[in-house]
Chain A
Amino acid sequence: MNEIKIKSKNLNVYYGEKQALFDVNLDLNEKEVTALIGPSGCGKSTFIRCINRMNDVIDICKVSGNIEIDGVEINDKNLDVVSLRERVGMVFQKPNPFPKSIYDNISYGPKIHGKGETKSELDEIVENSLKKAALWEEVKDRLDEPGTGLSGGQQQRLCIARAISVNPEVILMDEPCSALDPIATAKIEELIDELKKTYTIVIVTHSMAQAVRVSQKTGFFHLGKLIEVGKTEKIFKNPDNKMTQDYITGRFG
C-alpha cells in the first residue's frame, strides 16, 4: 500500500441552505487511482472540487472541515489557491479546450506559472505533455490548429495534456469519459493506467465497469455521505454495506 497523499476530515459542504456533503472522511493514496462512484447528485463531484478548491468559484458554496495534502491543510484562507491548483490539476466532464491553438492550449499553464522561460523549453513541455497524454503522434503536425477542431476524445486528451503541462502531483477527473464514445473511452482508460505511475489520480465515474478497470481503491457516495470505501476488488466483490451492494448490483442508481 502506498502512502497517504490526501486526507479529508469531517468535510461538510453547503450550497446556500442545502448541505451537499456530510462529514466525509476519506484518505487517498499516492500514485494510485481512486474511483468515486454513486448515483447522480450524491456529492462525488463536489468532493473532488474541494481538493483543488474549485468550489471557490461558486459564490454560495461554503466548505467546512479539513483537507490535507501531504499533511498541509488546504482549506486555509491564507493558502494560495493558484499554487494549490498548480499542484492539483483537473479534467472536466465535457472537454473544454480553450478556443486557441493546440500549442497555446498546452503552453498556457506553464507560461502563467513562469515555467519554460524560453521557446525551446516551452516546446519541450508541450511535446512531453502531449506524449504523456498519448496525443503527440496525432497532432504533432498541426500544433497551430485550434484545439476546438479535434474530435471529442482527442479534445479530452488535450485537456489531460493541459493538466499535465504544469507538472501537478494530483489529477482530478470528473467523469472524463461521459461525453465520449467507447473507443475514445478505452484510450483514456489506458492513459489513466499509464499516468498513475507518476500522478495521484482521483476519478469520478458513473460507470462501475470503468471503476473496476482503472482504480485500485473505490469510494461509494450516497446523498452526500461517504457510505463505504476500500480496495476496488473488495467493494465490487464483497461490500460491507447493504446500500453499496444494492448500488453495484444495479438496484438503484
Chain B
Amino acid sequence: MNFVLIFLITIFSLSLFFYGRSKTKSISVEKNIKLNALPKFYGYYLVLWCSIPSLVFLLIWTLFEPVIIKSIIIETAANQGAIFNDKNEANLIYEKIKAIYAGTYFGDIDTILKESALSYAKFINLFTNSKIVLIFGIVIASVIYSLKKIKNNNKARDDVEVILKGLLFASSLIAILTTLGIIFSLLFESIKFFSVINIFDYLFGTNWSPQRAFVRDASAITAEEYEELKDAFGFIPLIAGTSFIAFIAMLVAVPVGLFSGIYMAEYASLKVRRISKPIIEILAGIPTVVYGFFAALTVGPFFRQIGENLGLTVSSESALAAGLIMGIMIIPYVSSLSDDVINSVPQSLRDGSYAVGATKSETIKKVVIPAALPGIIGSVLLAVSRAIGETMIVVMAAGLAANLTINPLESTTTITTQIVMILVGDQEFDSPKTQSAFALGLTLFIATLVLNYIAQRAVKKYREKYD
C-alpha cells in the first residue's frame, strides 16, 4: 500500500513539475510580465510542496500505526474477557490475532480471539482508508496553496531555496535525533531496572549472575527475593574484567602503535611510509568478528597448549588471548593518530635540539614526545574507549562467567559480552535481567562519552597550540 502511495505521489509531483514550468511560461507570455525566477523553479516549487508534506505524513503515520492499533486491540480483547497477566501474554495474544487475520494461524480459535481478529481487520481497514483520504487531502491542499503562490508570481527560486535549506537542516538534525534516541532507549529500560535494583547495589555489588534472576512479578518483590536479586547484579566484576582486558590490549597497542607511529613520522622514508601505513591500517579495517574467530580458534588454544607444556592451567577463553588480539586490532588507531600528532610538532623544535648536538632519538624522546604528549594521550584515550566498547572479540574469545581475577590466564567477562549474552535469543519482557542489559549499555555509553570528550579536548587543545 505504502509503495503504491509513494509511487502515486512521485508521479503526481513529477507531472506538476512540467505543469508548473509551462504554466508560468505561458503566464509570462500572455500577461507580458517578467517572471521573478526561471520557469523551472516554479516547477521545483510545486514538486517540493506536493511531495514533502505528504511523504513526511506518510512516514509518521506508518511509524505509529502499528503501535496504536496494537494498544487498541489489546484493550478491546481485554474488554471482551481475554485474560493476560503480563505484557508477554498480551503480546502473544496480539500475535495470534494478527496471525488469524493473515490466515496463517492453525491453532484453536475461541470466540474472544475471533472477535478480536474481526475488530483487528476493521481497524486495519479503517486506518488504511483514513490514511489514503488524509494523504490525498494533504496533497490537494498543498498543491492548491502552491499553485496560488505561483499565479502571484512569487520569488520561486528563493522559496525553493528556503525549503531546501530546511531539508538540509533537518538532515543534520538526525544526528541529534540519534543521540536522543540512544539516550531515551537506554534510560527508559535503565530507569525500570534501577527502580527494582538499588543503584548502589548495582555499582558496588561484587557478584554478577543475571541468569539467577527469576522474578515472578517485577512490581512486587519481597525482601527475600531482593536479597537474591541484589547478588545477581553486581557491576564490579564486569568493570574489572572490562578494564583488565582493555589494559592487556593497551599493553600491546600502546608500545607497538606508538613506536610504529614514531618510526613512520621520524625515520621512515617516503617510500616505506607509503607502503607500510596502509598495510598497518588494514588491521583497523578487518571486521572484529574475524579477530574474534582468530582469537577463539587459534590464539586461545595455542596459549593453552603453551600453558600445558609449561605446567600452567590456561583457560582456553583467557583474558590474555582476548586482550592480545584486541591490542593488535587497536595498533593502527594508536599508530596513525600519534603519527599525525608527531608530524604536527614544528620542525623548528627538532632543529633547535639537533643544533645543540642531540641525536635523533634524544630529540624524539626529550623534545618531540614531550611536546606531542597531550595529543598522544588523547589518542591513547580514544583507543581505550574503543577497547572497552569492543564486542565481538570478547564475546567470542573471553569468558561468559564473571570472575573477579587479575590472573590473565583465567577467563573473565566484560560489559559488552554480558549485553550480548543477555539479549541474544528469547528475551523476557519486564524482567530485571533484560533491563540490566540496558543499564550496562547506559554505563558503557557514559564511560565512552567521557573518555572521548577528554580525548578530543586534549587533541584539540594540542592542535591549537601549534596551528
Contacts and interface: CB of A to CB of B under 8 A. Distances in A.
8 contacts: A52-B355, A83-B357, A90-B355, A96-B348, A98-B370, A112-B356, A112-B357, A166-B357
Contacts of B269: 59
A100 B369 CA distance: 12
B62 interface: no
Contact of A108 (B270, B346, B359, B366): B366
B402 interface: no
B356 A85 contact: yes
Contact of A98 (B270, B357, B362, B371): B371
B200 to A, nearest CB: 44
A49 B233 CA distance: 68
Nearest to B366: A108
Interface string A218-237: 00000000000000000000
Interface string A79-99: 001111110011110101111
B355 A89 contact: yes
B354 interface: yes
A162 B352 CA distance: 9
Nearest to B363: A112
A163 interface: yes
A163 B370 contact: no
Nearest to A109: B356
A221 B4 CA distance: 82
A82 B355 contact: no
Contacts of A84: 357
A165 interface: yes
A160 to B, nearest CB: 11
B354 A54 contact: yes
Contacts of B355: 52, 54, 85, 89-92, 163
A99 B356 contact: no
A166 B357 CA distance: 9
A59 B266 CA distance: 12
Contacts of B357: 81-86, 109, 112-113, 166
Contacts of A89: 355-356
B349 A82 contact: no
B348 A98 contact: no
Interface in B336-372: 346, 348-359, 362, 366-367, 370-371
Given A86-B357, A98-B371, A92 B352 contact: yes
Contact of B356 (A57, A94, A163): A163
B119 to A, nearest CB: 75
Interface of B: 269-270, 346, 348-359, 362, 366-367, 370-371
A92 B370 CA distance: 21
A163 B355 CA distance: 8
Given A92-B348, A92-B351, A96-B349, A165 B356 contact: yes
A159 interface: yes
B353 to A, nearest CB: 7
B352 A98 contact: yes
B366 A57 contact: no
A82 B358 contact: yes
Nearest to B359: A82
B371 to A, nearest CB: 5
A85 B352 CA distance: 11
Contacts of A81: 357
B356 A98 contact: no
Contacts of A98: 349, 352-353, 367, 370-371
Interface string A109-131: 10011000000000000000000
A113 B366 CA distance: 13
Contact of B366 (A83, A97, A112): A112
Contact of A99 (B351, B359, B371): B371
A185 B436 CA distance: 69
A110 to B, nearest CB: 9
A100 B367 CA distance: 9
Given A82-B359, A96-B346, A96-B348, A108 B370 contact: no
A84 B359 CA distance: 11
Contacts of B351: 54, 57, 90, 92, 96
Given A59-B269, A96-B352, 13 more contacts: A57-B350, A57-B351, A85-B357, A85-B358, A86-B357, A90-B351, A91-B355, A98-B353, A98-B367, A109-B357, A112-B356, A112-B357, A112-B366
Contacts of A97: 352
A102 B353 CA distance: 15
B249 to A, nearest CB: 30
